[in-house]
Amino acid sequence: MSDFCEREECKHSSNDHPNDGHCIKCRCIGFYRNLKVDDPLTKKYLQLIVDVHTKFNGILDMSSHLNEDFPKMANSFLDDKKLEESEFWKKLVKEDNNLAKKTNTVINNFNKIGRIALEGISPKIHAVICNLSHNGANYELSIRFIHFMILSQILIMYRVFIKDTVKIIFELESSTKEEWKKLSGEEKEEKGKKFSDSKIQEMAIEIRKKFGLDLKKDSDFNRFVECFERRNIHTHNEGRPHKKYRDITNYSGPDVVLPIDKEYLESTINLLRKYARDFMEFCLEKYVGVVNISRKGNVHHIDLTKGKGKIIPVKDGKN
């Protein structure tokens, strides 16, 4: 019996799993030996499916932390820049007061007439202005940029999660279904990629047809689709709702920039977490025979591989 947990790529020791329960160092929910799954092949695919989900969940966790902490990080960065700017200006006034005066003249003109005031200025004045403007660093622009990047990344990684999970199912079924036996590894990869690259509505249709899970029945499905469409309008239409966005999401509001802010990201992260968990648990039940009947950490499992489905308790640290 191993003293190191191999579940979800945990690799931490039994000491890090009080009573074989949750790992205190990562998201692992306990030693595999307590799942009572004896078949090596079943255990292999169970671990593969859970590992893919754990990897995506880790990305969502990281994104959640960045969403929470980046504004403070940006503030700290710009505060440091203000101190550097102050010291830079004092040194410039002391060492080249003439250049400092010329720079101030350009800045005053810029504030009056805009960018035209910067035309034809000397390289020295240009370099000073770049230093004073922190080389383009801007708090609001930085926040908007990082919010868009977080949204784009987590939506991409959700597609990767789907692709990797589907590929595992294809591999698992290749041992029993003739249609999958003929597929090469590259063909399985391509079929999984075809799932993940399609529009979310089309992906939902394919998941229902191929696997039997109907995502469209979920009450949050329209909100789920909207996340992908909001990313698209920020990529292609400066965040404004064009006709395609309105048709797909049934949006009937004004023609304004739809925000990607901290609250929207938090809601989207939770939504992706839910849809990833639902798909993982569906696959575990249908293809591996393990059901999580507690959404709070696999306190019990129903092992569908034995009899009519015996409830098998997993140690949860309460003796």
3-state per-residue secondary structure call for the chain? CCCECCHHHCCCEHHHCHHHCCCCCCCCCCCHHHHCCCCHHHHHHHHHHHHHHHHHHHHHHHHHHHHHHHHHHHHHHHHHHHHHHHHHHHHHHHHCHHHHHHHHHHHHHHHHHHHHHHCCCCHHHHHHHHHHCHHHCCHHHHHHHHHHHHHHHHHHHHHHHHHHHHHHHHHHHCCCCHHHHCCCHHHHHHHHHHHHHCCHHHHHHHHHHHHCCCHHHCCCHHHHHHHHHHHHHHHHCCCCCCHHHHHHHCCCCCCCCCCCCHHHHHHHHHHHHHHHHHHHHHHHHHHHCEEECCCCCCCEEEECCCCCCEEEECCCCCC
Of 89-103, 104-118, 156-170, least confident by mean pLDDT is 104-118
pLDDT of residue 29: 67
Q: pTM value?
A: 0.70
Task: Kindly state the average pLDDT of the residues 40-46.
Answer: 78
Q: Give the contacts of 142 (CB within 8 A, at least 6 positions apart).
A: 74
Is the pLDDT higher at 16 or at 246?
246
Residue 112 binned pLDDT confidence (cut-offs 50, 70, 90): confident
Tell me the two tokens of residue 149: 């990047």
Between CA 186 and CA 31 the distance in angstroms is 33
Nearest to 284 by CA among 302, 258, 300: 302
Domain coordinates of the chain in residue numbers? 1-35+292-319, 45-70+144-288, 74-139
| 171-199 pLDDT per residue, tens | 887 766 666 666 777 777 777 777 778 88
Task: Kindly state the average pLDDT of the residues 223-240.
Answer: 95
* Alpha-carbon dihedral angle through residues 100, 105, 106, 111, given to the nearest 10 degrees: 120
Asked whether residue 136 carries a pLDDT value surpassing 70, the answer given is no
Residue 307 binned pLDDT confidence (cut-offs 50, 70, 90): very low
Tell me the two tokens of residue 205: 């249709």
Average pLDDT, the chain: 81
Cross-strand bridge partners of residue 291: 302
